[in-house]
Amino acid sequence: MQKIMRYTRAAVDKYGMIENGDKIAVGVSGGKDSLMLLWALAQLKRFYPHGFELTAVTADPCFGGKETDFSGVEALCKGLGVQYVLRRTHLGEIIFEERKEKNPCSLCARMRRGILHNMAKEAGCNKIALGHHYDDAVQTFVMNLIYGGRIGCFSPKTYLSRKDITLIRPLIFCMEKELAAGARRLSLPVVKSLCPADGSTSRKKAADMISSLQKTEPDIKAKIMGAMQRAGLDGW
């Protein structure tokens, strides 16, 4: 757990993610990454030199027309002393029933981000924290290269002028396996995704591709991350 906190603090400091007086909405999907993000920021709040407030926000896609049970997440937030805002949406219906998207992930992500941005603004927040980690960054680089034909990745910190809100990703130095181990150790109330496309996405294909490359190039992820940082790619 100390390693996760050390890496989170390092990312926050390196990219100036948190300033005094910030009100941060933590995007909580219920997955291990977003729950670890919430936990880490709640711990950081106790000793970080810049005072800040947290609000956890969840946009339930209601896949299959069913409301997801987030009672465990609500209880966690109560235990951490963090306000929790849950909004039920029609994302699942729009993506899979009305539009019948063959490649739903991109559209779903954009729509969900839009909902989270609105929820954050309504909660009086000036920043949104997302649970993307080290592996996500490397996978996104590979996805953009292989499937999009471009060199790029999401940024550690991004200001959205249209919404007047800043996105931050405090877990970008944390490995997925470390977050998974942390979630198990803390017995976090992970909510299983009910998405019909779960496990068959472009991101999963990119992750498998990287795993295959690691057999002959065990440090491939570190090389990609280092290349992004040395090039200053997209704010890295």
What tens digit of pLDDT does each residue of 208-231 get? 999 999 999 999 999 999 999 999
| pLDDT at residue number 92 | 80
Q: Could you report the per-residue pLDDT of 28-58, keeping only the tens digit for each?
A: 999 999 999 999 999 999 999 999 999 999 9
For the chain, give the mean pLDDT.
93
Identify the residue with better confidence: 202 or 13: 13
| pLDDT at residue number 59 | 93
| pLDDT at residue number 200 | 63
Hey, is 221 helix, strand or coil? helix
| pLDDT at residue number 101 | 65
Q: Could you report the per-residue pLDDT of 160-185, keeping only the tens digit for each?
A: 999 999 999 999 999 999 999 999 99
Q: Does residue 35 contact residue 190 with C-beta atoms inside 8 Å?
A: yes
HEC string for 116-152 = HHHHHHHCCCCEEECCCCHHHHHHHHHHHHHCCCCCC
Cβ count within 10 A of residue 117: 21
The full set of domains in the chain, from first to last, is 2-235 (3.40.50.620)
| pLDDT at residue number 187 | 98
Length in residues, the chain: 236
Q: Determine the Cα–Cα distance for residues 146 and 196; give it in Å rounded to an integer.
A: 24
Answer whether residue 98 shows pLDDT above 80: no
CB contact burial 178-211 (16+ within 10 A = b; e otherwise):
bbebbbeeeebbbbeeebebeeebbeeebbeebe
Q: Does residue 82 contact residue 55 with C-beta atoms inside 8 Å?
A: yes
pLDDT bin (cut points 50, 70, 90) of residue 102 is low
Scanning the structure block, which residue is given the tokens 């896609």? 61
Question: How many Cα atoms sit within 13 Å of 106 on the Cβ side?
Answer: 9
